[in-house]
Chains A and B, each alone.
Chain A
C-alpha cells in the first residue's frame, strides 16, 4: 500500500520497495545461476536469446497488464487465439512477398483490432463477464485460424524473417520493438490522463464513473489495445519462427498473466507498472533455460516453475503488508 501512494520515487535506497524490484532480482539470479554452470561462457548469447524471447512475453504481457488493471474479473483469455489468428492470416496474406510486409503488419493489427472489438462488444452489449467473453470468443478465433490454416505452413518474407531474427548494435531487433512498446506503455500508464483513468477504473469502477471518468471508453480502448498487441505479437512470432503454427499462442495465456503478477502488478487491479512486465518476461525465459541447463526433465521443470511463481507472489505480498 505504501508504494502505491508515492507519486514519485524518493531515493535509490527505497528501490527495493518498488513493485518490479523482485522480478528483476529473480531474473538476475536465474541468469547468474545458469552462467555458473557454464563458468561464465555464453553469457552474451543467453542474454540475447532472453531479450528476444522475453519481448514476445513482454508485448502480450503489457496488453494483459492494462486489462488486469481494470480490476477483478478483467483478464483477456483470447490472447493466444488472437496471436494464432493474426499470425496465420498475415503470413497467408503476405505469402512470402517482401513488398507486402507493411500491409501484412496492417492485417495482423487489423485482426487484433477486430478481436478486441468483438471482445469488447461481448462484454458491453451482452454483459458477459470478461473472462467468459474472451474465453468463448477465443474458441471462435481458434476455429477461424484452424479453418484458414488448413495445415499449410507459409514462410514469412525473407526480409521480415531477417529483421525478426537480426540485431541492431548487438541488441536483438525484437527487443528494441519490445522496449519501444514498453516505453510507450509506461508513458501511457504513468503520465497520461488515460493511465489515471485506467487506475481509477480498476480501483472502483462506480466511483470512477461518478467522478466523470469515461469508463466505457477506457474499457473499450484497453480491451482493443490488448488484442492489437496480441495481433502484433502473433505477426512477429510467426515471422520469427518461420511460419504460423496452430498452437503457437498456447503457452502465452499463462505467460501473459504470470508476467503481470511476477512484475508486481496488483491482480486486484488499479495498480500496475511496466518495468515489472519486462522483469517478469525475462524471468520466465531465464528460469526455463536455467533448469534446462541443469539437465532437469520436463516434470521437474514444471514443478519448479510453478513453485517459483507462488514463492515470488508470496514474498512480494509479504513486502506489501509490512
Chain B
C-alpha cells in the first residue's frame, strides 16, 4: 500500500512541472522541445540510480559527483584513445566501488565518511588524468546519445529503459529482494547465513556500474570532459532519490521514482531558464522547487494518514 503511494507524488510533480513548462513555452511540446528539455537527464538519472543503490543499504554516497567526473575523464581520454585499456580502467573502478562497500561492512565504517574520503580520491585521479578540460567522446557513445529514434526522443527512451531495468533488477529479482533486505534489517539477513560483506559489496558494485554508465553517457552528450564536470551530481542524485519517494533509512526506495525524480530535477533547470530568471536566482529557485515538492509530499502523507485513521 504505502509503496504504491510512494510513486504517486513523483509522477504528479513531474507532470505539474511539465505542464507549467508547456504552458509557458508551447513550442516545447514537440520532439525537439522534449529532447532539449531532457537532454542532460540521462546521466543525472543514471547517477541517481547509482545513489539509490547506496541509500538502499542505508548508506549515503558523497562521492557520486567526483566519481562520475572521473569516469567522464577516463571516457574522454583512455576509452577514446585505447578502448581496451579504458574499459579495463572502468571495470577496475567498479571493482573499487565494490571494495569500498566490502570495507565499510567488514570494518563497520560510516559510509558518509568513507565516501567523503573517496570523493577526494576520485577527484585527485580525475585531475591526474585530465588536468585541464579536453578529451573527446568515443564515436559509438556519441552516436548512441545523439540517436534520433522515431516518435520519442532518445532521452525519454533511455530514461524509460533505465527505469524498467532498475525496477526489475531491484524490485523483482530475488537478488534485489535480498539487497533491499540489507537496508531493512541487516542483522536478520546476517543471521540467516548471508555474507553481509558480499551483499554490501554487491550494492556498491551496482552503484559503481550505474556511475560508470552516467559518466560515459555524459561525455556522449558533452563530447569532452573535465575533472569538475559532474560535481553537482552528488547533491542532485541525493535530491533525486528523495524526490522519487525514497527514504534515507530502512531500504525504502523506488527505482522508478528515482528516475522520475532525476527527470524532475533536470526539468527544473530548463524550467528556470524559461522563466527568464536572473541567473542570480536560478540556484535559489532550484532549492525552492525542492522544498515545494517536499512540502506537497508532506500534505499527501498527512491526508493519507487521516484517511487511514478514519478507516481504522
Contacts and interface: CB of A to CB of B under 8 A. Distances in A.
Contacts of B126: 299
B281 A267 contact: no
A136 B291 contact: yes
Contact of A258 (B113, B121, B247): B113
B238 A147 contact: no
A133 B248 CA distance: 13
A99 B275 CA distance: 43
Contacts of B124: 298-306
Given A132-B239, A146-B280, A303-B120, A261 B291 contact: no
Contact of B107 (A127, A132, A135, A314): A314
B280 A128 contact: no
A96 B113 CA distance: 40
A140 to B, nearest CB: 5
A89 to B, nearest CB: 15
A101 B122 CA distance: 42
B84 interface: no
11 contacts: A72-B249, A128-B294, A132-B290, A135-B238, A137-B287, A143-B281, A261-B110, A306-B119, A306-B124, A310-B121, A317-B108
B280 to A, nearest CB: 5
A125 to B, nearest CB: 9
Given A131-B238, A314-B107, A321-B108, 18 more contacts: A126-B294, A135-B235, A139-B286, A139-B287, A140-B284, A142-B283, A258-B113, A261-B116, A299-B125, A299-B126, A303-B121, A303-B128, A304-B124, A305-B117, A306-B118, A310-B117, A314-B103, A317-B107
B127 interface: yes
A138 B283 CA distance: 9
A29 interface: no
A302 B107 contact: no
B291 A147 contact: no
Contacts of A268: 110
A129 interface: yes
A232 interface: no
A108 to B, nearest CB: 20
Contacts of B238: 131-132, 135
Contacts of B218: none
Given A300-B124, A303-B121, A257 B287 contact: no
Contacts of B286: 139
Interface string A244-264: 000000000010011001000
Given A126-B294, A132-B290, A302-B127, A309 B239 contact: no
Interface in A34-81: 72-73, 75, 77
Nearest to A122: B291
Interface string A282-322: 00000000000000011111111111111001100110010
Contact of A73 (B62, B108, B125, B249): B249
A113 to B, nearest CB: 19
A129 B284 contact: no
Contacts of A73: 248-249
A151 to B, nearest CB: 11
A142 B103 contact: no
Contacts of A126: 291, 294-295, 298
A137 B290 CA distance: 9
Interface in B272-295: 278, 280-288, 290-291, 294-295
Contacts of A267: 110, 112-113
B114 interface: yes
Nearest to B290: A136
Nearest to B278: A147
Interface in B99-143: 103, 107-110, 112-114, 116-128, 131
B230 interface: no
Contacts of B249: 72-73
Contacts of A144: 284
Interface string B12-42: 0000000000000000000000000000000
Given A139-B284, A146-B280, A317 B116 contact: no
A146 B238 CA distance: 24
A263 to B, nearest CB: 11
